[in-house]
A and B are shown apart, each in its own frame.
Chain A
Amino acid sequence: MISASKLASAAAALVAAAALSGCGERDQVIVYEQGKYQGKHDTRPWENDAGSSLYTTSKWTKGDKSSWEAALRSRNQSQNEYARVE
């Protein structure tokens, strides 16, 4: 037969184990996941016809990215007034 003292010590050990389990540390840092764009597809600026808009002097070939970039590069230089001074 189990003595009362043994029973008490077993119960105490159980309570201690149960109480200590609350001290267990779990990693609570959320792992950041990069979101993915959920919206509508956007068209590219060079997919437009250069002549479709008014008052622009830029010229490029529709669908040709490099020609559009070249047009924008030359337009960019209009912001450089030193290019006009020299």
Chain B
Amino acid sequence: MATGGDPRILRLVVNGDSRIGVAEPRMLLVDFIRHELGLTGTHAGCEHGVCGACNVRMNGSVVRSCLVFAVQADGAEIETVESLAGRDGSMHPLQVAFQEHHGLQCGFCTPGFLVAGLEVLRDNPDPTEAEIRQALSGNLCRCTGYVGIVKAIRQAAITMRS
């Protein structure tokens, strides 16, 4: 028999909106966000918590949404990459800096880096390059060699402080 168990109704706040969705107890949060809520900016890159492409902010902390069951997020506040730009489509200073410094190529890892990068800047508004590199070592990128990503976060730190 299908082994998912009875679906549960989940209520959560996603990017400031109240959302209701249905998930079997075994459904991963990343699949719930992508397929149930239709927010496909969050990506599944490795599904075992190494690559960081599925990073989202849950109740104020960055989590790997591939390592969290959707039911664990019942009642939670979630922020995904879609929350960064303004409602009018204007990009966040961190997004602007990524474009400015060629911090992305294929774009697949980018949402995870943006979510992690914002967290770096929340914790430390003026990080050194070494601190940025240490803080981002849990995210994989296969295109950029990280050069543009690190530069972009340094630039965003300056913009966001001013």
Interaction A to B: no
Interface residues of B (CB under 8 A from A): none
